Structure 1
Amino acid sequence: MKNTLKIQRAVKSVTQAQLAEAIGVSRQSINTIEKGKFVPSTVLALKFARYFGVAVEELFILEDND
């Protein structure tokens, strides 16, 4: 699963640490998700979408091989 978290953060000028604090996870979790090494839970994905004001599908893209 691909994601656009890093792009969304850049658009809002938000650091990983700032996003982590706002969402309630560690900075390391944000880093791991951005690198595609961890797929967030549905609840966490919805929190990201709410924070950025976009649909979940804009943040997380399901690929054919998923």
Structure 2
Amino acid sequence: MAIGGEEERREEGEDSRILLNLLFHFSYLLERENKDLYRESGRGSRAVSNSRENVKAAD
């Protein structure tokens, strides 16, 4: 009976490692996607220059 308990704990540990790996993988993908969207949105130094140009164009 002890052997069955050890095997069950081993399987739970393996499941936990798999879930953690998936979590880190999706976290990485979301971070990468977020960086891509940030670049595409033109934020940062380009956003400042773009907003100044937009203000000048509006005048």
Provide TM-score, normalisation by structure 2: 0.23
> Which structure is higher in strand share?
1
Provide TM-score, normalisation by structure 1: 0.21
RCO higher in 1 or 2 (8 Å CA, sep ≥ 6)? 1
Q: Which structure's CA Rg is the greater one? A: 2
